[in-house]
Every structure is written in structure tokens, then in C-alpha cells.
Structure 1
Amino acid sequence: MGKGGMSVDDDQQNMAAWLVGLNTLKIQPFNLPSLGPHDVRIRMKAVGICGSDVHYLKTMRCADFIVKEPMVIGHECAGIIEEVGSHVQNLVPGDRVAIEPGISCWRCDHCKLGRYNLCPEMKFFATPPVHGSLANRIVHPADLCFKLPDNVSLEEGAMCEPLSVGVHACRRANIGPETNVVIMGAGPIGLVTMLSARAFGAPRIVVVDVDDHRLSVAKSLGADDIVKVSTNIQDVAEEVKQIHNVMGAGVDVTFDCAGFNKTMTTALNATQPGGK
């Protein structure tokens, strides 16, 4: 559960992908902590590569988090339970699980109010100095492991973590059958937000991006319409007109899934008064 370390034992069989320097990954042994009474040991079967992993690889940092010593990467993950702690009752060896990658303190006000994602002491996989999950095995709290239905693959299970971003966004925005949605950015988070908005009942969804291929993927996954834009902030006014034209109605909610000054400016200008 992010508490392992680099092994010096040549016989250690648990291997992991260590970020050891700029653009440098090495497959090296990874020691696991002992299994606590409420923990499980999981054999990893699927781990996604997030944009944050790429940032760490290319720059050794992501926002204010800086890699100062070797770190195991990866946090979007699913696997199979191999062993359970003495007090674990909800899981057994052989269970296929999706893994929630953040361990909160459960003591602060945020945790007590159920908003544990805001915990200031959050220990999140592959966020320095906490190790990640791109390894043969990990140890993790059982209550952060969720059994997968038989019809959900392990690869799909690993995508539960990024999908949760879209679900959380749609919940906060109260997306429903009367909510027309614009999504800025057709990357992975933009796409799962689009799929979530559709599942929440959004009647019309327009996806905006600078890349033709990403827009074509969005269209194939169910976007009602797409708008290709530029990276030039001087084009915002004209592009907002395009967005309004293809929407054919007021924009109730805009999700910025890219995070640039221009996408935020476009979102604010495209969304109707009283929108979100």
C-alpha cells in the first residue's frame, strides 16, 4: 500500500516499475510491507498509464509533487486477491478487484464528513513519496478493494479510477435529462466524463478539442457533435459561436477536462447564465 521499498535481496521475486531518473524506468525488486489484519495482498493484472505517470517520467514532477528518490509508478489498477488479513471478511483469495488508490486518515473533518478525497494526509499511489502499483503484487487495505462483477474485465476494473473522475464531476454538476453538456478536451478524462454524462441522462453532449483523431474517438463513443478549435485564445469568441451553433440550445454545464487558460475561458463564455 505504497509502503514498500527497493529490495536488496537478489531472491526477491516481487518486481515493479521504478522511476529512477528523467525518462528512465527500471524493473527492479520491490519489498512489500507485512500483511496487516485489515489488509490484502493482490497480484496485479492490469495497470493503466495516467497522464501523471507520463509527467513524472518526462519531468520528474507533476504540479507541486516532485520525485526526489526512486518511486514505483502506476495508480489505475485491478488484480486478484492472493491473501487476506486475519480480520478481513468481505474478500477471499481469488476475488477479482478494482483498487481505490488513495488511503486517507479517516480522522480529519473531511474524512468524518465522508469527503475523504479531500483528506490533507491522503497517501495516493505514485504520488511522491508514496509508491504506486505497477508491480507484480501490492499490499492494500481491504476496504479500498472492490469486487468486480463477472462481466467486468480486469482491464475495465483498472479504468474504474479514471471513470470515477467523470462520475464525481457529473454528480457535483447535477447532470440529468435536462442538462446539455459541453466537454472541453477529448482525452481519456474528457471521454469518461462524456460517457458518465450520457449515463446520467444528458440529452445532448458536444465535445471540443484541437485534435482530429481524439474528436473522432469522441464521436464514435457517442458524442452528439464535435467542434475542432485552435490553441489561439484570440479565437475564443468565434469558437463559442460554433459551439452554440452545434448545440442548438443553451449550454447548461461545461466540463473543462484539459486545464488550459483557453479552455477555461471558452467554458466560461460558452455556458449560459445560471449554468455550471
Structure 2
Amino acid sequence: MTAKIPDTMRASILLSQDTLTIEERTVPTPDRDQVLVRVAAVGVCGSDVHFFREGRLGDFVVNNPLVLGHELSGRIVAVGSDVDSNRVGQRVAIEPQRPCAQCQECRTGRYNLCKKMEFFATPSIDGAFAEYVTIQDAFAHAIPDSMSDEAAAMLEPLSVAIASVRKAGVTPGSSILIAGAGPIGIITAQTARAFGAKDIIVTDLIEEKRERALKFGATRVIDPVATSIESLDLDVEAFIDASGSPRAVDSGIRALRPAGTAVLVGLGNSTMTLPVEQIQNLELNVTGIFRYTDTWPTAIHLVSSGQVDLDSLVTGKFDLDHVREALDSDLDPTSLKSIVYP
């Protein structure tokens, strides 16, 4: 270790549903293949909010104290014995997961589906609302000095968008419908534009969010309550749901042209009714997205080249003592992305 590192650190702890506290914890020591990162910025994700308000997200239940936060950037301050010591001092964006590297999913390149995955801020793996974290060397991605800490942290949601747009088959000249103009929807619209989509249609119930989508890649916005999506005959090649709304999923699938692709990203109902006859008769592809694989290099390029703007998405900044306010910031319709600075 070449940097002065304290013995303890502050961390925001979710003790149980709707109960947060600040604790002093021991600074973790990196394993031989890990790096120790001084956390610079952490984005607040919808999954953090679910764990905070409901104590669970799908099958993941908070039964023990948990550190939230998985969208993060920072600086390497120490390395394990197998890691190049020249990495100390590097600014990095963190891919917040540790696959087993042994199972069939890992060996075939689908490590996001590893059944033994250790993912930040998922019970019982602590996340990044803390001053220091450790991560495997390969998942600490070096970033250019031109990239802000905030943008580097948001490479994680950008990775979700990249994985979704790839799976949707978006290519130059494509048409795409995106349901939901929250952070993922807005970032997906920018990503679709970067991938060459010509028509990028975004739906949302809230006027402020629709107007914002037009500033970040959307070529057209629709209020799905005022206007029936099914009546518009959009005939798009791709549909990405970033809302989790069963109604949005149904109408989005119906808006696809033959052989189109629907990608379900939003956190919605565990079960919902789908237009099966439409899917069969038009040979539609309906799939989901679960995190990402090998997206950080693309994400770094898209931001560094100016094709995706993440800095302008930041609408709130909070320290560890105000994590509750950061988690509740989504209650304001003008809020888009909040950042915590440990």
C-alpha cells in the first residue's frame, strides 16, 4: 500500500425497511486479485429505492444490514498482490459485480447470469454508500481525466442501456419506441441515437419528463394516456420498456412491426399478460435484460466522444448524512439523477 489509508470508514447502512444509519466500519483489505477504491461518486438507482422503501426487490430480500449503492466511480488507493502496483492513483469506473468465472454461464460469456454472482447492494453483498470498496482488478475500468466522477458513476446505468439497445438490434436507420422517461429511458434514448436510430419515440405520463426526453435524443414524445399507442400504427422495429408498466409493455409489443424485438428492462409486476397471438403471428422477439456483460469499454467511448451526455442528468447532490433525501428525490418529477458523495 502506497497511499495513507485509514483503519476505519463511514458507511450508510440500511438496517431494515425505511431505516438508515451511519456506522464506522473497518476499511476492507483487497484480496490478491482486487483493488481498493476510494469512492468518489455514487448514483442512486431505482433498485436502491425499492430496497429502502419496501425492504425487497423481487426475490432479493433485506434480512440483514446492507450498504446500498452500485453506480460508482473513484480512485484506486491500494492493490492486491497479483495486481500491477502502477494502478494505484488511477481514476476508475466500477463494474459492480463478481461472477464465479467457473459456471457454464460465465464460461460462455454470459457472466451476468452467473448463479453465484456477488453484485453490489444486493442482499447480502454490501454496496458503495461508503468511503472505500474493493473490486476485482478487471472490473475497475480506467477512465480518462476528461470524464467527471459523476459521469463515470453513471456508466453503470449507461451499461444497462447499451445491453438493452444491443439486444433490441438497433442499427443505423432503426426505429425504436421507449416506454418511460426516467433515468434509464433517457439514457436509452441517447444510446439508441448513438447506435444510429433514426426515429426515437419516448412515452411517459409526466409532461416534464416528456419535454426532457426531447433534449436527450427523443425525436418524438407521446402521452400514453392522452393518445392510444395502438391507434398510431408506429410500426417500430424495436421496443424497450423502461417503465415496468403492464399497459406500456402490452402497447409497446403491439407497436412492433413483424419480426420486431421487445426488451423488458423496467422493474414491474412479476407476472403480466402479454399479447401472445400478436407475438406468434408477427414472429416477435420478446426478451428481458439482466444487468450487462462487457459494456464499460463502449460506455467510456460513448461518453468520452460526446455521443452520450451523462453530466447533464445530475439533478441532486448529497453526502452520506443525507442518503435518505437522495433516495426520496425521485418523488420530485423534476428530479432525474441524484448523486451521493461518500
TM normalised by structure 1 equals 0.89
1:275 aligns with 260
2:191 aligns with 196
2:44 aligns with 49
1:156 aligns with 151
Does the Cα contact within 8 Å between 1:32 and 1:139 map onto a contact in 2? no
1:223 aligns with 218
Matched, 1:170 2:165: yes
SS in 1 for 2:177: strand
2:142 aligns with 147
* Residues 42-78 of structure 1: per-residue CA shift (max 9 Å, x gap): 1000001101111111111111111001111100000
**1:142: how far off?**
1.0
Residue type matched to 1:127 in 2? T
Does the Cα contact within 8 Å between 1:12 and 1:29 map onto a contact in 2? no
Does the Cα contact within 8 Å between 2:28 and 2:36 map onto a contact in 1? no
**1:13: how far off?**
2.9
- Separation (CA, whole Å) in 1 of partners of 2:216 and 2:187: 10
Aligned residue runs from structure 1 range 8-47, under 5 A:
13-47=8-42
* Residues 61-109 of structure 1: per-residue CA shift (max 9 Å, x gap): 1111110011111000000111111211285221100001111000001
- Separation (CA, whole Å) in 2 of partners of 1:177 and 1:240: 25
Aligned to 1:102, which of 97, 113, 122? 97
Aligned to 1:77, which of 67, 72, 80? 72
SS in 2 for 1:222: coil
* Residues 222-242 of structure 1: per-residue CA shift (max 9 Å, x gap): 210100123xxxx88x33224
2:128 aligns with 133
- Separation (CA, whole Å) in 1 of partners of 2:156 and 2:25: 23
- Give the paired residue count: 256
- Separation (CA, whole Å) in 1 of partners of 2:206 and 2:26: 42
Aligned to 2:242, which of 240, 257, 275? 257
SS in 1 for 2:8: coil
- Separation (CA, whole Å) in 1 of partners of 2:86 and 2:33: 11
**1:30: how far off?**
2.4
Residue type matched to 1:98 in 2? A
Residue type matched to 1:37 in 2? R
Aligned to 2:112, which of 114, 117, 123? 117
**1:173: how far off?**
1.8
Q: CA RMSD in A?
A: 1.6
Residue type matched to 1:38 in 2? D
Does the Cα contact within 8 Å between 1:14 and 1:29 map onto a contact in 2? yes
- Separation (CA, whole Å) in 1 of partners of 2:26 and 2:58: 28
Q: Which consecutive unaligned segments of at least 5 residues does structure 1 have?
A: 1-10
SS in 2 for 1:57: helix
Residue type matched to 1:264 in 2? V
2:282 aligns with none
Residue type matched to 2:32 in 1? P
2:230 aligns with 240
- Separation (CA, whole Å) in 2 of partners of 1:197 and 1:191: 10
**1:35: how far off?**
2.1
Q: Identity over aligned residues, as a percent? A: 38
